[in-house]
Amino acid sequence: DGGITQSPKYLFRKEGQNVTLSCEQNLNHDAMYWYRQDPGQGLRLIYYSQIVNDFQKGDIAEGYSVSREKKESFPLTVTSAQKNPTAFYLCASSPIGRLYEQYFGPGTRLTVT
Amino acid sequence: GDSVTQMEGPVTLSEEAFLTINCTYTATGYPSLFWYVQYPGEGLQLLLKATKADDKGSNKGFEATYRKETTSFHLEKGSVQVSDSAVYFCALSVASGGSYIPTFGRGTSLIVHP
């Protein structure tokens, strides 16, 4: 089955530690995105990438970093510089030719204490 | 900038009731419009879309019509089921320099009682 996988589903970390969230897709989509979702809020864009080895900051990139070494993979690192990292993180992808549509993974809930 | 405004929830209905969730937008260009649905603890799923004025998107009994004159894209369903309980997000996407970066509303929670 084609789709987007995010792992793990739940992640717990201590303050001051960096943590990397995985996002893999086998849809052959060119564009990939990371969003943050907080209770009662819409989705806020962290980073996006339209081609391998290239990515752009979204609205709330501070304290986060990404890489895009392969078309299928777009990992997100939450660094210790992110002041309030506890949130639900969603990865999405879009096919070339329909970049306006987004297909989402199941999300990772990160809790930092 | 672009923005999407949805009615605040939760919207609470009995099974088989008629559903409307209002969505209005502002956009600098000519957007495509979407409704996404999120079930508890899951990611968002594309529910329906419309890419030009007067288009009607439909899926699983849900419908929404792209109204350019009122900048609206209201979601409707004639008879809701308990399984429709979820959070619904209205979104727009406009081309900008070859990219399409969506703008999402805050979401409207729907609770359907048997």
Q: Which of the 8 DSSP states describes residue B82?
A: G
pLDDT for residue A1: 63
Chain A closest CA to B18's CA: distance in Å?
A: 24
B57 at A interface, C-beta within 8 A: no
Chain A closest CA to B114's CA: distance in Å?
A: 25
Cβ of B106 and A40 within 8 Å? Answer: yes
Of A6, A42, A50, nearest to B106 by CB-CB distance is A42
pLDDT tier at B110, thresholds 50, 70, 90: very high
Instruction: Report which of A88, A100, A70 is spatially closest to residue B107, judged by C-alpha positions.
Output: A88
pLDDT tier at B37, thresholds 50, 70, 90: very high
- Average pLDDT over chain B reads 94
A104 at B interface, C-beta within 8 A: yes
Cβ of B101 and A40 within 8 Å? Answer: no
Average pLDDT of A69-76?
97
What is the pairing mode between strands B3-6 and B23-26?
A: antiparallel
Chain B closest CA to A82's CA: distance in Å?
A: 22
Q: Number of A:B CB contacts under 8 A?
A: 58
pLDDT tier at B38, thresholds 50, 70, 90: very high
B51 at A interface, C-beta within 8 A: yes
B100 at A interface, C-beta within 8 A: yes
A39 at B interface, C-beta within 8 A: no
Phi, psi of B4, rounded to the nearest 5 degrees: -130, 130
Place of tokens 């939760």: B10
B30: burial class by Cβ within 10 Å (0-12, 13-18, 19+)? exposed
Cβ of B46 and A102 within 8 Å? Answer: yes
pLDDT for residue A62: 96
Cβ(A105)–Cβ(A88) below 8 Å:
no
Instruction: Identify the top-confidence range among A28-42, A89-103, B12-26.
Output: B12-26
More confident residue, B100 or A23: A23
Cβ of B101 and A48 within 8 Å? Answer: yes
Chain center to CA of A53: 16
A41 at B interface, C-beta within 8 A: yes
